[in-house]
A = this chain, B = another copy of it.
Amino acid sequence: MREEYQADLVEVSRLLVTMAESVRAALRKATTALLTADLNAAQAVINRDAEVDAVYDQIELKVADTIARQAPVASDLRRVITALHIGADLERMGDLAEHVAKTAARRHPSPAVPAELRPTFKGMAEVADQMAEKITALIAKPNAEGAAQLEKDDDAIDDLERALFKIMLADDWPYGAETAIDGALLGRFYERYADHAVNIGEHLIYLVTGEN
């Protein structure tokens, strides 16, 4: 049974890595859609979100099946329950990438983001992408130090979001309310994506150290 249980955990971990890779690819493509007004890219992200959700359903089934068959306790039980939390965060990251893509699609053929905001969004997207890369590696091989570094990346995202608001709230902002609303909501989508990556880091720290 111990061997079976290990095989179950490996399978759950493999599914989580698949999800993490998908939500990383989704935000990359959504950012391309946003910054280059690329409708095909936007549609591809929107169409593929259901695949991410389907992997999460598989994880839920596998976890329930593992608990039922193996009756894990203590740290073993903690690992499978943590997998559920990580999956839920990844699912939400996929939704947020989809929101970015939908905003790009809604404004197409115009760009949703004016030139003045593009460097800031590019910066947010780059940091978010690095975070997604890190969590993919950490899920495959958890370590508490790597997970704790995600907090610093998140600070960088928060600084960029503040810079974004500063531009939009300047007296000489020329684009009016609609573009400011899009900018604020898009900023929030990237910031929330990063928040969920931090959550995943915290779950992994708990997994490795048993401490919150």
A142 to B12, alpha carbons, bound, how many Å?
30
A115 at the interface (CB under 8 A from B): no
* Segment of A25-33, A65-73, A127-135, A146-154 in the binding face: A65-73
A88 at the interface (CB under 8 A from B): yes
Interface residues of A in 164-201 (CB under 8 A from B): 165, 168-169, 173, 175-178, 180-181, 183-185, 188
A50 at the interface (CB under 8 A from B): no
Smallest beta-carbon distance A84→chain B, Å: 7
A84 to B85, alpha carbons, bound, how many Å?
9
**A81 proximity list for chain B (CB < 8 A):** 60, 63-64, 67, 84
**A180 proximity list for chain B (CB < 8 A):** 177-178, 180-181
A77 at the interface (CB under 8 A from B): yes
The number of times this chain is found in the oligomer is 2
**A71 proximity list for chain B (CB < 8 A):** 71
Among residues of B, the one whose C-beta sits closest to the C-beta of A173 is B177
Interface string of A79-119 (1 = CB under 8 A from B): 00100110010000000000000000000000000000000
Inter-subunit contact A177/B188 (CB<8 Å): no
A178 to B77, alpha carbons, bound, how many Å?
48
Q: State how many residues of chain A have any CB contact under 8 Å with chain B.
A: 28
Inter-subunit contact B67/A77 (CB<8 Å): yes
**A88 proximity list for chain B (CB < 8 A):** 85, 88
With A63-B81, A85-B88, A169-B181 given, name 5 new contacts (CB 8 A).
A68-B74, A81-B84, A173-B177, A178-B180, A181-B184
**8 pairs of residues in contact across A and B, judged by CB atoms under 8 Å:** A60-B81, A68-B77, A165-B181, A168-B177, A175-B177, A178-B180, A180-B180, A181-B183
